[in-house]
Amino acid sequence: MKTKAAILWERNTPWSVEEIELDPPKAGEVLVKLAASGMCHSDEHLVTGDLAGATPEPPLIGGHEGAGVVMEVGDGVFSLQPGDHVVFGFVPACGRCPSCADGHSNLCDMGSLTATGLQITDGTSRHHVGGKDLTLGIGNLGTFAYHTVVNEASCIKIDPDLPLDKACLLGCGVVTGWGSAVYAADVQPGDTVAVVGVGGIGANAVQGAKLAGARVIAAIDPVEFKREKAMEFGATHSHSSVEEALGALAETTWDRGFDKVIMTTGVGNGDVLGEAFHLGGKRSKIVVTNIHPTAEQSIAIPAVFLTVFEKQLIGSLFGSGNPRKDIPRLLELYTQGQLDLDGLVTRTYSLDEINQGYADMNDGKNIRGVLIYD
């Protein structure tokens, strides 16, 4: 079938919205008509090349934060049928590998097969333009399109009464941020928490820390609009820089340092992490959620404090959550009013406006921009 998609032909060039040819789903695959897609910073990393080596090479279709309706299922797909509403997990969850069996579906072994951008099932492409194969960006999803074909393991079925234009955010940013606080940092009632960087991930780390009962949540971001948003999401303090936050430790933590520090900046940076490391107190957990460039080889932390203060440096993918449990669970919290999704969406765009959307993100205007497909 024919559909429209945003293609990245080369690094550091704009997204190009073009008609593509989409094959029917093969065994284990699903054709989905997308309703909406979040515009996550990780797709920008594809443009800049920060993730070179770990992500597919252009030409590729971007987008990994999507939700839609199943149109067709391939052979052997039993968990879904046409008409089902689904959110894509940006990491697949096969349910059978050692990581899935251990309760860590965010590390599903199938995830390693997404780096090629080709279908997990057989390593070929369903997406073509002018006879040329296209890869799919992060997570083998290709949500910057009206339709896509993905693996069954990437689809999380949700109740059909939920709004897909909000549910799409659960595929990546919301669970990643919320889980960074709730699971990776293990925020406890009464904790003091610092969130460094308040974008689509950090705003949800603030929400997660709030729901988990943190006493102090310090949101750190240079952009005033984002600091204001953070206060709406539950932050108790805000600072424009890590340096400023370090100067306010007496006020926020009685100079004990934060119990939990969550790194959610646009691009990870070893020097910033080194500075933020000092925000943590004894036995603090410092969670690295933001993506550091694959080429970066060192971080500037004084490692002695890992020992003498037992500080813990913890990486987190997808907020250390499990797509099949946490996507539905967070949607329940949304319907109950304990999770704000509406307030996350700053602006919506049509697919043709995608480059404007990313320009707005880079200008610090958006917590989250969302593409809406009519």
Partner 1 sequence: MKSRAALLHGLGQEWQIQDVEVDPPKAGEVIVEWKAAGLCHSDEHLITGDMVPPEEAWPLMGIEEFWPVIGGHEGAGVIAEVGPGVTSVAVGDHVSASFVPSCGKCRYCSTGRQNLCDAGAGAFLKGMSTDGTTRHHLADGSGDPMLFAKLGTFSQYSCVSVDQVIKVDTDLPLEAVALVSCGVATGWGSATNRAAVATGDTVVVVGIGGIGINAVQGAAMAGARQVIAVDPVEFKREKAMEFGATQTFTSMEEAFPAVMEMTEGMMADKVIMTPGVMYGDLMALGTQLAGKGGTIVVTGVAPITQTESSVNLFELAMWNKEIKGTIFGSLNPRADIPKLLNLYRDGQLKLDELITSRYTLDEINTGYQAMRDGENIRGVVVHG
**Residue 323 is a binding residue for partner 1 (CB under 8 A):** no
What does each C-alpha distance from 155 to 23, 67, 70, 257, 337 come to in angstroms?
18, 9, 9, 41, 25
- Least CB distance from residue 191 to partner 1, whole Å? 10
**Residue 211 is a binding residue for partner 1 (CB under 8 A):** yes
Asked whether 270 and 276 are in contact (CB, 8 A), the reply is: no
52 pairs with which residues across the strands? Answer: 55
> What is the amino acid identity at position 36?
A
Neighbour tally for 286: CB within 10 Å: 25
**Residue 333 is a binding residue for partner 1 (CB under 8 A):** yes
The interface region with partner 1, picked from 120-128, 154-162, 330-338, 350-358 by CB under 8 A, is 330-338
Which of 304, 336, 342, 374 is in the footprint of partner 1 by CB under 8 A?
336
239 is catalytic: no
40 is catalytic: yes
Asked whether 252 and 220 are in contact (CB, 8 A), the reply is: no
188/356 with CB nearer partner 1: 188
348 pairs with which residues across the strands? Answer: 370
- Least CB distance from residue 359 to partner 1, whole Å? 35
**Residue 231 is a binding residue for partner 1 (CB under 8 A):** no
The interface region with partner 1, picked from 150-158, 184-192, 260-268, 293-301 by CB under 8 A, is 184-192
**Residue 175 is a binding residue for partner 1 (CB under 8 A):** no
- Least CB distance from residue 153 to partner 1, whole Å? 23
Q: Kindly state the number of chain residues that form the binding site for partner 1, as judged by CB under 8 A.
A: 16
Asked whether 52 and 86 are in contact (CB, 8 A), the reply is: no
148/192 with CB nearer partner 1: 192
**Residue 182 is a binding residue for partner 1 (CB under 8 A):** yes
* Whole-number Å distance between alpha carbons of 286 and 205: 13
Pick the catalytic residue from 37, 40, 147, 168: 40
Element (H, E) at 192: strand 192-196
Element (H, E) at 41: helix 41-48
* Whole-number Å distance between alpha carbons of 368 and 199: 7
* Cα torsion angle, 52, 170, 345, 61, sign: positive
**Residue 282 is a binding residue for partner 1 (CB under 8 A):** no
C-alpha neighbours within 13 Å on the C-beta side of residue 332: 5
The interface region with partner 1, picked from 80-88, 270-278, 312-320, 327-335 by CB under 8 A, is 327-335
Which of 82, 190, 302, 343 is in the footprint of partner 1 by CB under 8 A?
190
Element (H, E) at 151: strand 147-151
Positions marked active-site: 40, 42, 45, 64, 172
Q: Which chain residues interact with partner 1 by CB under 8 A?
A: 182, 188-190, 208, 211-213, 215, 236, 329-330, 332-333, 336, 338
